[in-house]
Amino acid sequence: MNTKRKLEDEINFKEVFTNPLRMFGWIFPIFIFLLVVLGIYYVKNLSEISFNQQPVGLIVDSTYFKKELSTKKGGISPAVDLALVEKPTTDFINKGKDLYKANCASCHGENGLGNGSAGATLNPKPRNFHNKDGWTNGRTIDMMYKTLQEGIIKNGMAAYEYLPPADRFAIISFIRTFAEFPAIKKEELTQLDNQYQLSKGTVVPSQIPIKLAEEILIEENSVNEKKIKNAIKLLDASNENVGANLLKQNSDNLKKVFTSFINFNKNQNVDAFISNVSSNPINFGFKLSITKLKKDELSILYTYLKTILS
């Protein structure tokens, strides 16, 4: 009898292919190996994988958009006759009609249907005044005035704060002829009067075109630069002047001293200068030592600065 056993390989690879279940024990080592390889790859390429690039050309810098202004002299607009607003006359409504055609019809249409030529490309479409639904601020007179005063940016509705208050009420009175609107309540007008001082007259500031304002600022800065350069020369040449010595001893930044004096103190009196400098010397270019000066010394310093910067 042959007692010798036939030697076999520990793993018969031929049987592996005929019976894949024999590979089951290798699944976990292989999975762990692949996981380690992927982890190493991810860590080495983490910067590139997580890099987020913003597409060029999709974002427009809004600071380049400028709404040009017309030259307008300020003053106090006439007081609003709230009784006339509550019960508008035919002449008042006709005035509003002319103002509506000039300012509103291009978007809202001649008859207030929201079908003006300028509003064809707007989204959302301009307000249809005949429609009672969907008003952002509401259809009461105080809310309509608020819309003209502040505008509605998200809807593309411009503010008309440059129009006198009486003209805005005239426009509202005409718009109210398109459909049936809520009755005007005295408390609504009272609230508007308290908020905007309508019956006392409204202060309207002067305005100039942006380009002209930029040119004036550039010119003023240029003039101030020349004044500061000249003041530094005069200071360097002054050795025996008391005011010059006080300035040299107590200034930390001469250019800042001169600039702040031009902007804040030149047209103020000596008491205002002393108050400003004593309360915040660093902000005006001085050392803290200036707070120890006596009032007469600060007066001499004020006079000297005013002289060399004139």
Residue 90: predicted pLDDT: 96
**Of 261 and 95, the one with more pLDDT:** 95
Residue closest to 301 by CA, chosen among 261, 267, 252: 261
Could you report the per-residue pLDDT of 17-39, keeping only the tens digit for each? Answer: 666 665 666 677 788 888 888 88
Give me 235's structure tokens: 């200071």
pLDDT (tens digit per residue) in 88-107: 999 999 999 999 999 999 99
Look at residue 54 and give its three-state secondary structure. coil
- Distances from the Cα of 126 to the Cαs of 108, 114, 155, 221, in angstroms? 6, 5, 8, 44
- 222 against 204, higher pLDDT: 222
- Residue 250, token pair as written in the block: 């107590």
pLDDT band at 210 (very low <50, low <70, confident <90, very high): confident
Of 185, 103, 193, 110, give the one whose Cα is nearest residue 148: 103
Q: Is the pLDDT of residue 222 over 80?
A: yes
**CB 280: neighbour CB atoms within 10 A?**
11
Closest CA to 103 of 198, 84, 112, 61: 112
pLDDT digits (tens, 9 = 90+) for 177-198: 999 999 999 999 999 999 988 8
pLDDT at 58: 47
- Residue 59: the pLDDT is 47
Selection from 14-28, 128-142, 156-170 with the highest mean pLDDT: 128-142
Kindly state the tokens that stand for 91. 């002449």
Average pLDDT over residues 281-300: 90
Q: Which of 169, 9, 20 is nearest to 88 (CA)?
A: 169
- Give 96-159 as a DSSP string: HHHHHHHHTHHHH-TTSSS--GGGTT-SSPPP-TT--S--SS-SSHHHHHHHHHH-BGGGTBPP
Q: Is the pTM of this model over 0.75?
A: no
Cβ contact 170:120 at 8 Å: no
pLDDT band at 276 (very low <50, low <70, confident <90, very high): confident
Cis peptide before 124 (omega within 30 of 0): yes
Between 20 and 202, residue with greater pLDDT: 202
- How far apart, in whole angstroms, are the C-alpha atoms of residue 273 and residue 302? 7
Q: Is the pLDDT of residue 176 over 90?
A: yes
Percent of the chain clearing pLDDT 90 (strictly above): 33
Residues of 45-82 as b/e, b for ≥16 C-beta within 10 angstroms? eeeeeeeeeeeeeeeeeeeeeeeeeeeeeeeebeebeb
Helix (H, G, I), strand (E, B) or coil at 56: coil
Q: What tokens does 122 get?
A: 């707007």
Quick one: average pLDDT of 251-279? 84
CA angle 192, 204, 208 (to 5 degrees): 140
pLDDT score of 3 more than 70 = no
Domain-wise residue ranges, the chain: 13-44, 75-204, 210-308
CATH classification code of 75-204: 1.10.760.10
Q: How far apart are CA 159 and CA 153, in angstroms?
A: 9
Round the average pLDDT of the chain to a whole number and report it. Answer: 83
Question: Residue 5 — pLDDT band, cuts 50, 70, 90?
Answer: low
